Chains A and B, each alone.
Chain A
């Protein structure tokens, strides 16, 4: 996959600065918003009320704002992790599966060690286990990519299905609630195994703290370290990187491991921080949302926080659409998709012209 990147790709960030490109991007954004507004009008609602309700749904109450934070934490983790793989020229679509395996590993620790060790230690271990689980699952795709020449897009999607199958098997099988076979999830964990929360809300300072620390680490690594630089080199021109003596294999696998580890932590936090049990949709599709964030920020880790925050707010606020406007909440997904599409289109156009 990475080998296919054309030589002499223009650097990724400079295109942002060019005034013409800025116009292109603004234009694309306006057009995409216009299309979204048109779509909303077709459903019989007013675009203004949709925006107002989305805002209200995300920040109207403490509970909702906390939910934005609760969504932000795993989303930041996935997006940060994906910065590594994107930088290395990899499209790690397996991130969903890596969240799931992280959640499974964390659940295994919580189930196995509850009551055996102090609760805080058990929760800490479950996060470590989640990280390791996600890492190993990601490395599976990495090994297939590096040694098997199998595109990480396909192996990732395939491994997502396997992870999904595994979690359903566990919930219906060995980890089922006594006397029950339902996809509604495992028995909730004792409250002592729940992550600390802000008041009586869904947001956890621990989850947010971990996510922010790892985001900052990612920014630092990308800007200030050789590792970041070499990752970029491998991603943009593996042949040149190879000639310069950069160990591509090792770097690619590191990128997989880091991304998987971050996603695995996200999975563990979903279990102990939010759901307090294992549910089939434990990832809440945040891995795919993370992919959109990472693509939208154009590999620039600095922008991850604002974009992820925006998407979290959109995601949480969308519950108001069916509740108040009787609209499908998936409309927020359409808005999201249109924005990303606009960003990619404008970027594509701006990079396409000069190379002719």
Chain B
């Protein structure tokens, strides 16, 4: 009998171990209240997304900014004008991941600061590994039940959940960041009037990241720490490569063949033990394999922490951060820069439209504000230059300026895909669709274009 009892306990122990291991990774409980933090934002919060004027030349190739075809009469906005709004934010990873999710979380904080009439609830770590038995659509149900009148799904992963939620609640606008269901000229258009897609033109951010990597590498070997493989991630990896190649050959006057650019995909936006490759190990392998610069393209900061650790042991390694503005603070001495999203203005604009009852389907692929890419009120994409750029900062500046005034256009032929097929003819400029639906990595890059 005692044995049975002991076995029961053992079984229980094992079961609870496994459950807790599969369960949420213990990030500390959020202490920050989602309630509107003071900030008497009387200073006209006019931060609109529409990136305006001058840079038109540069952005002309990637036109699709807010196509707010406000079908004003639409039924989807039966929700009348209201003076306050609660937003429900659904994050795929931890709200404090120093990356993608934190950028989204802080964007909503920005919105509540700019307009105290807006409040938000959020649920983070909404993925089947951290929260088994919970789907994004279910979380949306609960947020709506708690009074949310605008839902933001922050990950590509939620495209099915976002669509299902939009169908289920036709009177509540649903924003899905990074998706394309509401892009009329896209491949996957769904006629769902309350579904909105917002994305930043991170191609530019990644070109700047790639340039910084090229300027920072001593060995000519750049590692790209990639998440999963899809159109978006291929697009961003290719952009980084184009930026790196341009700066390597144009400014450093080095041979393109002497530049190695290797992409390793871990399989998800962040580490899931036992399921994805471990990004810590991938970053380590890069650094120990002679790749002295790693460009992060995942949600979490493993590239930064590993670079810091390995640099402390005396090796000359550096990293480029992604998603989160303050990414260089993680390891300032070895940071070449941080390409980041600034979702705040776009979310503020959407919140105002929701309050006015005019938020209907649109697809926004918002560019940097070329007058000041780091303007928190106007630029959807920015790049913070890191300390490790050293005296090469001026070159990076020159590159960014060129992108902004249109004198540097990297998605212009001739360009070849990884399998040798033609992507863009000589002189041909890529259409927004050709960029968005990037079919492969480019010729000259190492790594998988699709999963095996």
Looking at the complex, which of A103-111, A250-258, A333-341 is the stretch in contact with chain B?
A333-341
Min CB distance, B54 to chain A, in Å? Answer: 36
Q: Assess whether A31 is interfacial by the CB under 8 Å rule.
A: no
Looking at the complex, which of B267-275, B313-321, B325-333, B393-401 is the stretch in contact with chain A?
B267-275
Q: How big is the B interface, by class?
A: 35 or more
CA distance A172 to B143 in the complex (A): 31
Residue in B5, B16, B18, B134 whose CB lies within 8 Å of A348: B5
On chain A, the number of residues with a Cβ less than 8 Å from chain B's Cβ atoms is 69
- Residues of chain B within 8 A of A93, CB atoms compared: 11, 14-15
Q: Assess whether A173 is interfacial by the CB under 8 Å rule.
A: yes
Which residues in window 79-98 of B have CB below 8 A to A? Answer: none
- The reply to whether B141 and A61 form a contact with Cβ atoms under 8 Å apart is yes
- Residues of chain A within 8 A of B267, CB atoms compared: 172, 181-183
Q: Assess whether A46 is interfacial by the CB under 8 Å rule.
A: no
- Residues of chain A within 8 A of B122, CB atoms compared: 323
Chain B residue with Cβ nearest A153? B11
CA distance A340 to B12 in the complex (A): 8
Q: Assess whether A9 is interfacial by the CB under 8 Å rule.
A: yes
Min CB distance, A286 to chain B, in Å? Answer: 7
Residue in B1, B16, B26 whose CB lies within 8 Å of A337: B16
A323 in contact with B143 given A10-B1, A91-B7 (CB within 8 Å): yes
Residue in B3, B228, B230, B452 whose CB lies within 8 Å of A173: B452
A9 in contact with B145 given A280-B129, A291-B15, A323-B123 (CB within 8 Å): no
CA distance A185 to B33 in the complex (A): 33
- The reply to whether A330 and B20 form a contact with Cβ atoms under 8 Å apart is yes
Chain B residue with Cβ nearest A161? B274
Q: Mark A312-344, 1 if CB is under 8 A from B, else 0.
A: 000110011011101111100100010011001
Q: Mark A181-197, 1 if CB is under 8 A from B, else 0.
A: 11111001000000000
- The reply to whether B11 and A333 form a contact with Cβ atoms under 8 Å apart is no
- Residues of chain B within 8 A of A348, CB atoms compared: 5, 8-9
- Residues of chain A within 8 A of B265, CB atoms compared: 181
- The reply to whether B276 and A183 form a contact with Cβ atoms under 8 Å apart is yes
- Residues of chain A within 8 A of B30, CB atoms compared: 322, 326
- Residues of chain A within 8 A of B451, CB atoms compared: 172-173, 176, 180-181
Q: Mark B247-282, 1 if CB is under 8 A from A, else 0.
A: 000000000000000000101100010111000000
- The reply to whether B275 and A280 form a contact with Cβ atoms under 8 Å apart is yes
- The reply to whether B135 and A275 form a contact with Cβ atoms under 8 Å apart is yes
Looking at the complex, which of A63-71, A113-121, A220-228 is the stretch in contact with chain B?
A63-71
Which residues in window 143-185 of A have CB below 8 A to B? Answer: 153, 157, 164, 168, 172-173, 176, 179-185
- Residues of chain A within 8 A of B123, CB atoms compared: 319, 322-323
Q: Assess whether B373 is interfacial by the CB under 8 Å rule.
A: no
A67 in contact with B138 given A200-B168, A333-B19, A355-B1 (CB within 8 Å): yes
- The reply to whether B1 and A295 form a contact with Cβ atoms under 8 Å apart is no
Q: Assess whether B47 is interfacial by the CB under 8 Å rule.
A: no
- Residues of chain B within 8 A of A10, CB atoms compared: 1
Residue in A63, A172, A185 whose CB lies within 8 Å of B145: A63
- Residues of chain A within 8 A of B419, CB atoms compared: none
Residue in A9, A181, A326 whose CB lies within 8 Å of B228: A181
- Residues of chain B within 8 A of A355, CB atoms compared: 1-2
- The reply to whether A322 and B129 form a contact with Cβ atoms under 8 Å apart is no
- The reply to whether A183 and B19 form a contact with Cβ atoms under 8 Å apart is no
A181 in contact with B450 given A6-B3, A319-B139, A323-B143 (CB within 8 Å): yes
Q: Assess whether B229 is interfacial by the CB under 8 Å rule.
A: yes
Min CB distance, B391 to chain A, in Å? Answer: 40
Residue in B121, B268, B450 whose CB lies within 8 Å of A183: B268
- The reply to whether A328 and B1 form a contact with Cβ atoms under 8 Å apart is no
Q: Assess whether B31 is interfacial by the CB under 8 Å rule.
A: yes
CA distance A329 to B134 in the complex (A): 11
Q: Assess whether B372 is interfacial by the CB under 8 Å rule.
A: no
- Residues of chain A within 8 A of B228, CB atoms compared: 180-184
CA distance A315 to B131 in the complex (A): 10
Could you list some 15 contacts between A and B, CB below 8 A? A64-B142, A153-B11, A180-B451, A181-B448, A184-B157, A275-B135, A288-B15, A319-B134, A319-B142, A322-B30, A323-B121, A326-B33, A347-B5, A348-B5, A351-B5
By a beta-carbon cutoff of 8 Å, the part of chain A in contact with chain B is 4-6, 9-10, 43, 57, 60-61, 63-64, 67, 71, 91, 93, 96, 153, 157, 164, 168, 172-173, 176, 179-185, 188, 200, 202, 274-275, 279-281, 283-286, 288-289, 291-292, 295, 315-316, 319-320, 322-324, 326-330, 333, 337, 340-341, 344, 347-348, 351-352, 355
Closest 10 CB pairs of A and B: A181-B451, A182-B228, A284-B133, A281-B128, A348-B5, A181-B229, A284-B132, A63-B141, A180-B230, A330-B23
